[in-house]
Structure formats: C-alpha cells, structure tokens
C-alpha cells in the first residue's frame, strides 16, 4: 500500500462466529498474502523464470506467521510506513532463498486486492450456510403452526385472520431471496490477478500472457476480471454488500414483527429462567435479541451506502481514499451479517407461542369480521341483505362503544343473539364464528411453499451439509 495503515481485528469480531472472525483476522490476512506470493512464484517458475525449488520449498514451509514474525513485521511497518513491503521483508527473513523473488513484478494490490476477493468469496459462503440453517429452523416453525389462526394486521390495525405459520412464510420467502442473491454474487466473483501497477500488465510482458491465468487458477478462481486499474473495481464491493444490506432489511423486518408480537404477548423470543429484563422493572421481558438484530441490521444497511460512495470517487486508475475505509467497511459488513444470522437462529430455535392469548385476541375482533358471514347466513334463510346490513351496522356501533368508550369486552355476538331478527341463524352462530373458517387456504399455502420453494433451496449440497452439521452440534450439546 502507499500509506501506513495497520490492519486491526474489528471490534464486532468478538461476537461473530469463529470462522468469520478468523477470516478477517490479521493472521489470516497476512497468511493469505504469503499464499498469493507463493502462487505467483510457482507460476513464474513454470513460465521459465529462474526461481529455485529451494525458494518454493521455503515459502511453502512458512505460510503461517509466528508471533515472532508478527513482531518483526510490526517493526518493519513502523519503519517503512508500508504494510506490504514490511511483510515482503518479514517473509524473506524465514524464506531467505526466496527473498529476492518474493513479490517479483507485482504491485501491492496484487496481494491486498486478491486477498480481499478471497475473503469476500469465503465470507459469502459462510453467510450462505448460516442462512440455510436459519431458513430450516423457521420452516420447522412454519410447519408446526401452519393452521394456528391468528389475527392479521394491516397498518398494525386488526385485519382478516391468517395463521402463525403463514406469517412465518413471509419471513422465509425474503430469506430465500437473500440466499439466492448472496449465492449469485458469490458465484460471479472474479480474481484481480496479476495486472501490474495500473492494470496494464506492463510489469509482466517478459513473463508471458499466461501468468495471469495461471495465478488465477492456482488461487482457486474460475476467471480473472478482464480489465482492472491498479485495483479491482470498487463497484465489486458495492455489488457484494448490496445483498448483505438487503439481508439487513429482511432481518430488521423479522425482528420488528417479533418485537410487536412480544408486546401483544402472542409470541416471544427465548427468555432464560435467570434472565433480567430490566434493572428497575423486575416483571419485564424485553425482546433484547430482536432489538439487537434491528440495531445491527441498520448498521449493515448503511454500510452499503459507504461502499457506493467509495466506488464513485475512484479517480482514474485509483486513489487511496478507498483503503482505510474498506479495511473497516468490508470486515464490519460480514461480521455484522454473521452476528445477525446467528442471533436470528437463536431466536428461531426458541420462539414461544401463546395460543390462548392469540385466541383471546381473535375473540375480541372476530365478531366484527364475522358480520359478512352473518349477513350471508340471513340471506340464505330468506332475509333481506340491506335490512340485515343495517341491523348489523347498528349493533356493531353499539358493541364498538362498549369496547372503545367503556373499556369492556366486545359483546356484538351477545347483541345478535338477543335480537329476534336473527332467530333463524342463532343455532349457526358458533359455526359462523369458528376461527379456522376465516383462514382460507393459509395452511395449504404453507405446505405448498415449503415443498415447492423451501425444500429445493435447502436440498442444495452446500446448504444441506451445513444444516446437518448444525443438527449434529445440537445433539452433542
């Protein structure tokens, strides 16, 4: 790099999974640089440069930095004000036969940018696997409560009934979109390759055109971007963070729904027996996990804007105002997404449903929703639709007064029973008020969705293996 910028482990890595925290750790970063230097040397040797077997062997034997080498690199970086050259010097100390050819013909971005692309690809893989586990957990929840009627809400006002399971499929569908988008951007990622100081490959004219393709293959990528500047286009970062930001929006919506349901006392996130909800109010059961998801999700969504702004101000072949920014933004985006998914998985595995509370709320609102059924039943018995409508309208307003003005229960059905006009259908009222008759095809929609959309997505080998692994971990615990 053209400036002294020390790589630090982001604070959020303390709470991320071990895999994701390690991926963006300084140790993994500098080890990856050494692997890239090794691949470059191997390719150059294969293409005829005088690089000895001993040099390659010494590089291969020292791909991981020891604590002592970290100290040497820190001293060198402070002296040279250049992190890449500090590590070139440190690597040469333990691989002296290769000291003269490490980084041969390369620019700093050969290791920094290619390493970042490796990290992005691996990080997206971690998220794909975590998403699969979360989707499987929520799918089990949706199947379990496929036919449990619950009050639907539009504008957070009582609406027609749905089911607890059907509502969960709305969450899952968005997660499936996130899974698809993250897999797409992962599978489309390329490699910067070896393009020289401004992307023209001028440094490598003598090393043959095959060098770029060979190093790309050795580094495990299908292709290298056909043209680059000194760096790979920072638009790639924006494209990678876009589905992560979208995942943040999904997570925020799910966690917000759970927070609202917790307020209604219908569904709650896990709450430990010794957990304290408030230091002052001992009775409280705050949905702190869901609140944490919302908090982190907002951070994740904002990071995408950062990447867009960085991509937009890269002058000509590059400018260095991207560097310090990206060293924070990229790790934070992946670590934050990782924490969000693990927290949502924890929530999904311990969701508590209160059917009696749900049934009570339905009973409070269903009489109003059943009025159309009552009118239709009267008409079937020979009644006049307009007359029945007027009767129901008057009784509904009277019942509404009881609820809103006096704070009493909804007594609309009692008023209907007491009115002689409705004598022909009084024996049918209980059936007309059965909640399951108001949920339409919601249970069948859950079944169809899980079978036709979720199961195929979870059958993907990468995802299914992750689900199986997580289940084995649970059994061992």
Give the burial class of 431: count Cβ atoms within 10 A of its Cβ; 0-12 exposed, 13-18 middle, 19 or more buried.
Answer: exposed
Q: Does residue 3 surpass a pLDDT of 50?
A: no
More confident residue, 202 or 166: 166
Cβ pair 110, 192 in contact under 8 A: yes
More confident residue, 291 or 402: 291
What's the angle, vertex CA 303, arms to CA 301 and CA 309, rounded to 5?
120
Residue 459 is predicted with a pLDDT of 95
pLDDT digits (tens, 9 = 90+) for 14-61: 566 889 999 999 999 999 999 999 999 999 999 889 999 999 999 999
CATH architecture for segment(s) 18-98: Orthogonal Bundle (1.10)
How do the domains of the chain map onto residue ranges?
18-98, 108-146+163-275+282-354
pLDDT digits (tens, 9 = 90+) for 102-145: 999 888 999 999 999 999 999 999 999 999 999 999 999 999 99
Residue 320 is predicted with a pLDDT of 84
The count of other CB atoms within 10 Å of the CB of residue 131 is 26
Cβ pair 132, 460 in contact under 8 A: yes
Residue 1 is predicted with a pLDDT of 39
What top-level class would CATH report for the domain 108-146+163-275+282-354?
Answer: mainly alpha
Residues annotated as catalytic (active site), given as ranges: 155, 278
Q: What mean pLDDT value characterizes the chain?
A: 89
Q: Tell me the pLDDT band of 207, cut-offs 50, 70 and 90.
A: low
What's the angle, vertex CA 88, arms to CA 67 and CA 324, rounded to 5?
85
pLDDT digits (tens, 9 = 90+) for 281-335: 555 578 999 999 999 999 999 999 999 999 999 888 888 888 888 999 999 999 9
Residue 2 is predicted with a pLDDT of 42
Q: Does residue 201 surpass a pLDDT of 90?
A: no
Q: Does residue 433 surpass a pLDDT of 90?
A: no
Residue 408 is predicted with a pLDDT of 87
């Amino acid at each position: 790099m053209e400036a002294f910028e020390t790589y630090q482990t982001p604070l959020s890595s303390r709470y991320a999974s071990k895999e994701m925290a390690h991926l963006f750790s300084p140790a993994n970063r500098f080890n990856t640089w050494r692997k890239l230097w090794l691949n470059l040397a191997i390719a150059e040797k294969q293409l005829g440069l005088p690089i000895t077997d001993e040099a390659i062997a010494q590089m291969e034997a020292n791909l991981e930095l020891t604590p002592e080498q970290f100290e040497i690199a820190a001293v060198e970086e402070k002296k040279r004000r250049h992190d890449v050259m500090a590590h070139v010097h440190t690597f040469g100390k333990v691989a002296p036969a290769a000291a003269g050819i490490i980084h041969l013909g390369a620019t700093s971005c050969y290791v920094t940018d290619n390493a970042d692309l490796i990290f992005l690809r691996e990080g997206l893989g971690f998220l794909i696997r975590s998403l699969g586990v979360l989707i499987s957990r929520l799918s089990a929840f949706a199947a379990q409560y496929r036919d449990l009627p619950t009050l639907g809400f539009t504008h957070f006002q009582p609406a027609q009934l749905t089911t607890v399971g059907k509502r969960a499929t709305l969450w899952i569908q968005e997660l499936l979109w996130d899974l698809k988008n993250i897999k797409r951007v992962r599978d489309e990622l390329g490699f910067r390759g070896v393009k020289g100081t401004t992307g023209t490959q001028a440094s490598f004219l003598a090393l043959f055109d095959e060098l770029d393709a060979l190093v790309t293959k050795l580094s495990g990528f299908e292709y290298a971007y056909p043209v680059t500047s000194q760096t790979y286009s920072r638009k790639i970062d924006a494209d990678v963070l876009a589905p992560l930001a979208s995942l943040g929006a999904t997570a925020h919506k799910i966690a917000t729904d759970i927070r609202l349901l917790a307020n209604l006392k219908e569904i709650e996130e896990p709450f430990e027996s010794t957990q304290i909800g408030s230091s002052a109010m001992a009775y409280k059961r705050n949905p702190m996990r869901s609140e944490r998801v919302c908090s982190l999700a907002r951070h994740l969504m904002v990071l995408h804007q950062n990447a867009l702004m960085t991509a937009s101000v890269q002058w000509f072949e590059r400018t260095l105002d991207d560097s310090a920014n990206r060293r924070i933004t990229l790790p934070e985006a992946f670590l934050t997404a990782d924490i969000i998914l693990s927290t949502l998985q924890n929530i999904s595995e311990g969701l508590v449903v209160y059917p009696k509370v749900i049934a009570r709320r339905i009973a409070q609102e269903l009489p109003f929703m059943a009025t159309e059924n009552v009118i239709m039943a009267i008409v079937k018995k020979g009644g006049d639709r307009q007359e029945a409508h007027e009767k129901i309208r008057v009784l509904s307003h009277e019942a509404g007064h009881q609820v809103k003005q006096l704070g009493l229960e909804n007594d609309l059905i009692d008023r209907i029973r007491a009115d002689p006009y409705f004598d022909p259908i009084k024996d049918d009222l209980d059936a007309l008020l059965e909640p399951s008759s108001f949920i339409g095809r919601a249970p069948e929609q859950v079944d169809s969705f899980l079978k036709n959309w979720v199961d195929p997505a979870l059958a993907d080998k990468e995802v299914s293996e992750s689900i199986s692994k997580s289940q084995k971990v649970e059994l061992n615990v």
